[in-house]
């Protein structure tokens, strides 16, 4: 069963659909018995995601920097919890633990995490699926910027073509299942 790392906001955002989608994704991962790895917080979309998975009986691993854990923002009830030194260590451990990455709406930290995994994949450090849950078309302006980078010759179109994008949780998980099926022989032989 694949481990899914999810990057998302520590805030809820202005559209209530973001919170609903985060909770639904956590629940859907648990229903598939796909373990969740996320930033370890209890606030915002992070908290809704984790609580959705926990309420549905899923396995949730939190990875949180010590300075955030000490502010008492850590999600209670996680089966596995890692406290790391900083945000760099958080990303590194999440990348190590995960078989795929999903970004939900979020701010600068979420975009940083998303771009980091895209960069690592582009450089051949791994070949794991990267996906966007494009709730309420949140990522549309960002995707326009990526298309501009492709048009200007700064990004290989293969990188944007490989990015899995879905507006709904079911579509996102179906895209991930197809990606895992397509790479199964390579993963088994690795």
Determine the pLDDT at residue 189.
43
Determine the pLDDT at residue 180.
94
Cα–Cα distance, 138 to 16 (Å, whole number): 12
125: number of CA atoms within 13 Å, CB side? Answer: 12
Give the pairing type, strands 100-103 and 164-166. Answer: unpaired
Interval 43-75: pLDDT, tens: 999 999 999 999 999 999 999 998 887 665 888
State whether residue 130 is helix, strand or coil: strand
pTM of the model: 0.93
Average model confidence (pLDDT) for the chain? 93
The mean-pLDDT minimum among 28-37, 44-53, 128-137, 181-190 falls in 181-190
Start-to-end CA span in the chain (Å): 16
Determine the pLDDT at residue 71.
60
- Give mean pLDDT, residues 177-187: 78
């Amino acid at each position: 069963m694949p481990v899914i790392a999810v990057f998302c906001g520590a805030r809820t955002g202005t559209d209530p659909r973001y919170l609903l989608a985060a909770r639904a994704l956590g629940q859907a991962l648990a229903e598939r018995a796909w373990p969740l790895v996320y930033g370890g917080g209890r606030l915002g979309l992070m908290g809704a995601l984790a609580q959705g998975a926990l309420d549905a009986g899923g396995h949730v691993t939190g990875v949180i920097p010590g300075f955030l854990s000490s502010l008492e923002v850590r999600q209670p009830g996680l089966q596995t919890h890692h406290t790391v030194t900083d945000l760099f260590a958080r990303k590194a451990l999440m990348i190590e633990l995960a078989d795929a990455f999903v970004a939900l709406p979020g701010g600068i930290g979420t975009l940083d995490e998303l771009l980091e995994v895209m960069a690592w994949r582009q450089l051949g450090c791994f070949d794991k699926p990267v996906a966007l849950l494009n709730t309420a078309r949140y990522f549309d302006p960002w995707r326009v910027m990526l298309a501009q980078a492709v048009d200007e010759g700064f990004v290989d179109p293969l990188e944007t073509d490989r990015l899995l994008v879905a507006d709904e949780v079911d579509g996102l998980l179906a895209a991930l299942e197809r990606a895992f099926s397509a790479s199964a022989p390579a993963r088994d032989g690795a």
